[in-house]
Amino acid sequence: MTSLQWGGRFSAPPDAALLAFGSSLADDLVLAPFDVRTSQAHVDALAGGSIVDAPTAAALHDALQTVATEIEDGRFAEFARGSGAEDIHGAIDARVRELQPQAGASLHAGRSRNDQVATTLALYAHDRARTGAARTQSIARHLLARAAEELNEGTLLAATTHMQPAQPVLLAFWLQAAAEPFVRAAHRFAAAAEFALHSCPLGSGAVAGSTLPLDRQAACKRLEFSQPSRNAMDAIGTRDVVLDVANACVRALADASRVSAEIVLWATPGFGYVRLGDASSTGSSLMPQKRNPDIFELVRGCASEVAGLYVGAVSSTIGLPLSYHRDLQETKKLALGACERTLAALDAFERALRDTSFERDAMRARAATGYTIATDVADALIAAGVNARDAHTLVGAVVRAAEDAGRALDEHDLLELANEAGLKKLNAPLDAAASVAAKKTSGSTSSDAVRAGLASLAAELETI
């Protein structure tokens, strides 16, 4: 039995090397369970339109269930690789025909690989988007739990801008800032999952629909799509659903890469803010003392890799005329690669994050270094009636003098600033804890604001 789904109009077999070049089987294996579901729905459409009788439909469903079992236990991959099929879709068709020769010959009636692939990709996109949503929600929940713990501890650190000491903040505030993007990522994944099942391509055929009375509603019902696609040409020629999920993957992994970059920096002796656990660290083959943050570095690198795959996937659709073109096989490969790599990287990121502990004393010790309370002093001048420009200039001059003397800002600096500004006294924070406590705006690093922010974020997570 030939595994190819075409060939009647050809008088010679295809060039083996060219057939191998055109094969996508190695990239398609991940689609196998979704293609079986697509085929099961197509059997319902055939039966609903009385294109096949009940015994034939039952035989096809039996064969497809056998294939599903073989996919689950790993046996089917070996069959597919040895089948000579061009892709996973052809391999499943070949296996069904092997299991049920007579009924199997009817499986592809009214169907093209064009609508078959488009539907299978939609099911895959839905599944991977749901996984992405669950994974980013789990990361966010872990960060929120750590934030609540550190809020109770009152752990302080010096926040940075341009990687320079900026202002004191609560570590809980940093953890909330790390969690926020993953909640947004979960929203994007959830939206992509919903959109993936909006419009079912199955029944579109190769480009123009079918003259056979396929029951498209039956197929939609089995696969839980909202409705059949409205236009066959568009349905078989678009890859929007899988590109949307790949886009969500790029964004989520970019978020993970930023947190990873900071943890890599914090793990250096120059900071010493975190300690990497044994389970998520690696050593050196030469240097016995090394404890390397390889997982976080790999996540950072994966973000660039996935961004490249996504750009390649989108670029492969640019300039294509409407309808199906084989270029879309490359779109599929790149988009699948982006999704699979991202989900693996997010899992590794969360595992390593859970195995990382914070060095609270090291953070507290440096929370006010680098004159991080200078902005609070300037704010105190403004609150006392000094205009913002003059306040900035006055405090800058005092910081310069203190820096030259190798000391921190103190009460004498506040007295000098009060005299310069014509004030009797200047009340301003001179330590990190007082700086944090002095914040008045919502969304700030004060304990009350962080507590409210964490509660709001946790509530939002439950709505996704």
Domain range for residue 300?
Answer: 114-155+166-365
Q: Examine the domain organization and report whether 44 and 102 are in the same domain.
A: yes
Asked if residue 160 is part of any domain, the answer here is no
pLDDT grade, residue 115 (50/70/90)? Answer: very high
Q: Examine the domain organization and report whether 326 and 378 are in the same domain.
A: no
What mean pLDDT comes out for the span 187-206?
98
Task: State percent of the chain over pLDDT 90.
Answer: 92
Asked if residue 283 is part of any domain, the answer here is yes
Q: Examine the domain organization and report whether 51 and 71 are in the same domain.
A: yes
Q: Examine the domain organization and report whether 359 and 431 are in the same domain.
A: no
Q: Examine the domain organization and report whether 178 and 233 are in the same domain.
A: yes
Per the structure, the count of domains in the chain is: 3
Per-residue pLDDT at 1 exceeds 90: no
Q: Examine the domain organization and report whether 234 and 308 are in the same domain.
A: yes
Asked if residue 126 is part of any domain, the answer here is yes
Q: How do residues 117-173 score in pLDDT, each as one tens digit? A: 999 999 999 999 999 999 999 999 999 999 999 999 999 999 999 999 999 999 999
**Mean pLDDT (the chain, rounded):** 95
Asked if residue 194 is part of any domain, the answer here is yes
Q: How do residues 211-269 score in pLDDT, each as one tens digit? A: 999 999 999 999 999 999 999 999 999 999 999 999 999 999 999 999 999 999 999 99
- Check residue 114 and give its pLDDT: 96
pLDDT grade, residue 84 (50/70/90)? Answer: confident
Q: How do residues 274-324 score in pLDDT, each as one tens digit? A: 999 999 999 989 999 999 999 999 999 999 999 999 999 999 999 999 999
Per-residue pLDDT at 383 exceeds 90: yes
pLDDT grade, residue 8 (50/70/90)? Answer: low
Per-residue pLDDT at 2 exceeds 60: no
Q: Examine the domain organization and report whether 272 and 394 are in the same domain.
A: no
Q: What is the 3-state secondary structure (H, E, C) of the chain?
A: CCCCCCCCCCCCCCCHHHHHHHCCHHHHHHHHHHHHHHHHHHHHHHHHCCCCCHHHHHHHHHHHHHHHHHHHHCHHHHHHHHCCCCCHHHHHHHHHHHHCHHHHCCCCCCCCHHHHHHHHHHHHHHHHHHHHHHHHHHHHHHHHHHHHHHHHHCCEEEEEECCEEEEEEEHHHHHHHHHHHHHHHHHHHHHHHHHHCCEECCCCCCCCCCCCCCCHHHHHHHHCCCEECCCHHHHHHCCHHHHHHHHHHHHHHHHHHHHHHHHHHHCCCCCCCEEECHHHCECCCCCCCCCECHHHHHHHHHHHHHHHHHHHHHHCCCCCCCCCCCHHHHHHHHHHHHHHHHHHHHHHHHHHHHCEEECHHHHHHCCCCCCCCHHHHHHHHHHCCCCHHHHHHHHHHHHHHHHHHCCCCCHHHHHHHHHHHCCCCCCCCCCHHHHHHCCCCCCCCCHHHHHHHHHHHHHHHCCC
Q: Which of 50, 226, 284, 456 is catalytic?
A: 284
- Check residue 25 and give its pLDDT: 78
- Check residue 5 and give its pLDDT: 66
Asked if residue 271 is part of any domain, the answer here is yes
CATH number (domain holding residue 317): 1.20.200.10
Q: Examine the domain organization and report whether 335 and 411 are in the same domain.
A: no
What mean pLDDT comes out for the span 408-418?
95
Q: Examine the domain organization and report whether 235 and 277 are in the same domain.
A: yes
Q: Examine the domain organization and report whether 407 and 299 are in the same domain.
A: no
**Last residue in a domain, options 365, 385, 402:** 365
What mean pLDDT comes out for the span 28-55?
97
- Check residue 83 and give its pLDDT: 85
What mean pLDDT comes out for the span 358-384?
96
**Last residue in a domain, options 365, 394, 413:** 365
Asked if residue 5 is part of any domain, the answer here is no
Asked if residue 321 is part of any domain, the answer here is yes
Q: Tell me, yes or no, if 162 is annotated catalytic.
A: yes
Q: Examine the domain organization and report whether 416 and 326 are in the same domain.
A: no
**Last residue in a domain, options 318, 333, 365:** 365
Per-residue pLDDT at 21 exceeds 90: no
Q: Examine the domain organization and report whether 145 and 43 are in the same domain.
A: no
CATH number (domain holding residue 101): 1.10.275.10
